[in-house]
Amino acid sequence: MWAGNLFLSGVAGKYDTRVSVIPTAIDPSKYEKPFDKPENSLVIVWIGSKSTSKYLKAELPRLEKLAERLKGIELKIVADFSLESDRLAISAVPWSETTEAEAIMTSHIGIAPMPDNDWTRGKCGLKVLQYMAAGLPVISSPSGVNAEIIDHGVTGFLPRNDDEWFQSLKKLMKDPELAHKLGKAGQKKVRDEYSVDAVYREMKASLDGAGF
């Protein structure tokens, strides 16, 4: 039996001890094409859907606070909804499989705010992997598998409260060299551990070990 993260593995393990963790796989080449990013603004991207829009709505006051103190901030929402704010510039990009990679690659920072509960612990980190594959530094709540995928201070940040969220965003905006360094480290981690080829090798080893 395969599970997408350690939490799911623990749940499944109550019923079957033969559980292996096989992470979400992603095709890095889809996110490594050359695209220009805006030079006069810093674009913070969030990708998702209406079903998880509440997580982004909860983050909006933090982003509005950042925009008031640091000029040039824009939130890009890649989803099937948008939000409105008179304190923060927001652009909405309708999600589609053919345009999602470009929407992410033309941004500067990827965010993944969410609470810590059984539902979020069961998520498998796709949006974080998409950001990292595109070379974006990632800022995520330290919840579920996101805290396993992101190496704090190496591929992104895992802020625990409002002040840490603000400081993480501010640090990346003020230090483009750091943002680039974290983004490149994230790309390498995706290629090494979460690419289709890497995950295939894990799947094959799991099947070989089971005698198939």
Calculate what percentage of the chain has a pLDDT beyond 90: 72
Q: Is residue 202 within 8 Å of residue 22, measured between CB atoms?
A: yes
Which CATH architecture does the domain made up of 27-192 adopt? 3-Layer(aba) Sandwich (3.40)
> In the predicted model, is pLDDT for residue 99 greater than 90?
yes
* Nearest Cα residue to 44 out of 179, 193, 186: 179
Mean pLDDT of the chain: 92
Closest C-alpha to 166, from 39, 64, 74, 46: 64
| pLDDT score, position 39 | 86
Using DSSP, state whether 212 is helix, strand or coil. coil
Residue 75 above 70 pLDDT?
yes
| Average pLDDT over every residue of 93-118 | 95
Read off the pLDDT of residues 166-194 as tens digits, 9 standing for 90 and up: 999 999 999 999 999 999 999 999 999 99
Please name the residue that has the structure tokens 């895992």: 158
Confidence of residue 13 (pLDDT cuts 50, 70, 90): confident
d(CA 142, CA 131): 16
> In the chain, where are the structural domains located?
1-25+195-212, 27-192
Per-residue pLDDT at 211: 60
- Give the per-residue pLDDT at 44: 97
The least confident of 17-31, 50-64, 74-88, 129-143 is 17-31
